[in-house]
Structure 1
Amino acid sequence: MKSLIDFTALMLIAFTLSSCNLTSAAGIGSQGQPIKTVGDKITSAVAHSVVNVDHSPWDKLLKKHVNDAGFVNYRGFKTEQDKLEAYLTYLSKIIPNEEWSVQELLAYYINLYNAATVELILQNHPIKSIKDINGAFTKNFIKIGDKKLSLNAIENGVLRKMNEPRIHFAINCASYSCPKLKNEAYTAAKINEQLDAATREFINSDLNEITPNNPKFSRIFSFYTSDFKVDGKKDLIGFINKYSNIKMNPKTRYTFKKYNWSLNEQ
């Protein structure tokens, strides 16, 4: 009887692992996109790249339809959806390669993620949450050349592999608890300063409750805990302390806040 129970348990574990692998693999393949890892420190620069991508059309749309708090006027965006689609078409025809600088790659994929997310919302508007869209994060709908990627693929298959944890505060999933959508496009010329500002703003916002002891963090830090390192070692408190106005006890216990998936609409 014991051997039968053990065998059954092993089968259940194997099934669970295979199911998890299938789930985690859904829509997160990089589709051969070039991936360059960020070193110890990245500097903003447009040099050393075979291309300088023009993100000004996206910048103009953001300045017009996103307020300083990061909330989006989707109805206003809808009136200029053709301009957004033209920008996405432009990005789809400029295919990234290994000769691009790491700065250009970061700006390209961050802007692509954010613009594609807004386009997805516009295609389904009015809605209360991006979670109401079937396959919002796993469906391959974002064109780059002759390939299609999902939002998960861009985030997990490309950006996270670039070893730059600040990307988590730059990409926006159209939800209240997400880091806010900045009303300016990311560019290679300002990427380091923009990522630093986005990280500092998010950590010190009301989406976290930073105290010296027993703080409550955004669940984003729960989703991606392994990404946040100091001197190459996982150190969530140490990472947050680099940007927080209030410094925490390095050994303090912490919890995570509930995530609000409500649409980030003005």
Structure 2
Amino acid sequence: MKAPKFILALLTVIFINQTQAQNTFDHSIWDQALLLNVSEEGKVNYNGFMRDSSQLYQYFSQLSANPPKEDWTREEKLAYWINAYNAYTIKLIIDSYPLKSIKDLDNPWGKKFFKINGEWYSLGELEHKILRKFGDPRIHFAINCASFSCPIVWNRAYTAENVNEALDQQTKKFINDPTRNTITDEEVNVSKIFTWYKKDFKVNGGDVKDFINRYASVKIGKQPKKGYKDYDWSLNE
């Protein structure tokens, strides 16, 4: 006896939905850890992360065992890799805590200290070989190097649903933060991120100034004084 067509159609929809659900990574553990241990201003409670380390290591296990698949959406992949970068940065710090700066560590961005799908990675590889390949300069304001002058750690997990809006918000927040960028009618003194990654900000035929002006409350024009701020590598706690 053949099943009615509407039942076959229903089963097909269920199968498709289950497949899509399997492709969506669950970042809820990381989201909870961030809410508990990162302030609205981006100050990180590393002692708190150490107390919650069992939960954190459960998230690391999930990251390691469930890398992005080819059929994931761009947003799913982007959220996964941003969260992975930030979570493993926290791991790097708490594994050697207490310390005053990430630069107190030996080769912090070149050290291969975590596995994803059986392959060893470093933070530098996640940033330069994966995240920057997305061609979206806003990622520089979502990933954090555990330092005061870095963009702040957002106290929520990135997801496929929120990543585009969140990247815009984090970019705008960073550019208009007077502790990280000074843009007035008389002076422009911006983060060294804009010179270290200058080519990343040359999008849609524009340059660094065009990118900044897209988000800045005060626009860069003909201000007489222009330069870059000293970078404060002290720990963001």
Equivalent residue number for residue 150 of structure 1: 122
Amino acid at match of 1:221: F
Instruction: Provide the residue aligned with 1:133 in structure 2.
Output: 105
- Which segment is superposed worse, 58-67 or 205-214? 205-214
Distance 1:249 1:67 in 2: 34
**Counterpart-to-counterpart distance in 2, 1:187 and 1:212:** 37
The answer to whether the 8 A contact 2:185-2:223 is kept is: no
Please tell me whether residue 221 in structure 1 is matched to residue 156 in structure 2: no
**Preserved contact between residue 213 and residue 248 of structure 1 (Cα < 8 Å):** no
Partner of 1:209: 182
Match of 1:117 among 46, 64, 89: 89
Does the CA contact (< 8 Å) of 1:65 and 1:72 recur in 2? Answer: yes
Q: Which amino acid aligns with 1:223?
A: W
1:142, CA displacement in angstroms? Answer: 2.3
Identity %: 45
Residues in 1 aligned to 2:226 and 2:120: alpha-carbon distance in whole angstroms? 39
Give me the whole-angstrom Cα distance separating, in 2, the residues matched to 1:64 and 1:162.
30
Find the counterpart in structure 2 of residue 239 from structure 1: 211
Shift of 1:169: 0.1
Q: Quick one: which amino acid aligns to residue 219 of structure 2?
A: K
1:10 aligned partner: none
Where does residue 98 of structure 1 map in the other structure?
A: 70
| Structure 1 residues 250 and 201: CA distance shift in structure 2, 3 A | same
CA distance in 1 between counterparts of 2:186 and 2:213 reads 12
Q: How does 1:179-218 map to 2 (within 5 A)?
A: 179-206=151-178, 207-212=180-185, 214-218=187-191
Report the alpha carbon displacement of residue 230 of structure 1 after superposing the two structures with TM: 4.1
CA distance in 1, matches of 2:40, 2:158: 15
Residues 211 and 246, structure 1, Cα contact 8 Å, conserved in 2: yes
Between 1:155-164 and 1:241-250, the stretch displaced more is 241-250
Mean Cα displacement is larger for which, 252-261 or 151-160? Answer: 252-261
The whole-number CA distance in structure 2 between the counterparts of 1:243 and 1:48 is: 34
CA shift for structure 1 position 167: 0.2
Match for residue 257 of structure 1? 229
**CA deviation string 1:102-143 (max 9, x = no partner):** 101100000000000001111000000001111210011121
The alpha-carbon deviation at position 263 of structure 1 amounts to: 0.3
Corresponding position of 1:85: 57
Within 5 Å, give how 1:36-115 maps onto structure 2.
Answer: 51-115=23-87
Q: Structure 1 residue 251: deviation in Å?
A: 8.7
TM, length-normalised to structure 2: 0.88
**Distance 1:87-1:144 versus aligned 2 partners, 3 A rule:** same
Contact 1:49 1:99 in 2 (8 A): no
Distance 1:226 1:253, change over 3 A: farther
Question: Where does the alignment leave 5 or more consecutive residues of structure 1 unmatched?
Answer: 1-46
TM-score (norm 1): 0.78
Q: Which runs of 5+ in 2 are unaligned?
A: 1-18
**Following TM superposition, by how much is the alpha carbon of 1:186 offset from its aligned partner in structure 2, in angstroms?**
0.4
Equivalenced residue count is 218
